Amino acid sequence: MKSAHCMMCTFLHMRFSVKENCEPSIYLKKNYCIVQIQNMETIKIENMKRLIFSLIFIVALVNVNGQTCDEMMTFVKEESVGTTYNSYTSKAISKVTFYDIVIDYKTYYFAIVCFKQEYSYGCNEYIYQVDSSTKLNYAMNYINSAGKAFWKYIQPYNKSLECGASFNN
Interior/surface letters 7-35, b for 16+ CB within 10 angstroms, e for the rest:
eebeeeeeebeeeeeeebeeeeeeeebee
Q: Which domain holds residue 27?
A: 1-39
* 141 & 101 share domain: yes
Assess if residue 167 is contained within a domain: no
The enclosing H or E element of 152 equals none
Q: pLDDT for 113-148, tens place per residue?
A: 999 988 888 899 999 999 999 999 999 999 999 999
* 34 & 73 share domain: no
Assess if residue 63 is contained within a domain: no
Residue 48: the pLDDT is 76
* 24 & 103 share domain: no
The one-letter amino acid code at 154 reads I
Q: Looking at the whole model, is its pTM more than 0.75?
A: no
Q: Which of these, 38, 30, 35, 40, lies nearest to 10 by C-alpha position?
A: 35
How many structural domains is the chain composed of? 2
Assess if residue 112 is contained within a domain: yes
Q: pLDDT for 56-96, tens place per residue?
A: 655 554 455 567 899 999 999 999 999 999 999 999 999 99
Distance CA 47, CA 51 (A): 6
Assess if residue 128 is contained within a domain: yes
* 78 & 135 share domain: yes
Q: What is the DSSP letter of 150?
A: I
Assess if residue 58 is contained within a domain: no
* 34 & 74 share domain: no
Asked if 82 contacts 112 with a C-beta cutoff of 8 angstroms, the reply is yes
User: Whole-angstrom distance between the N-terminal and C-terminal Cα of the chain?
Assistant: 86
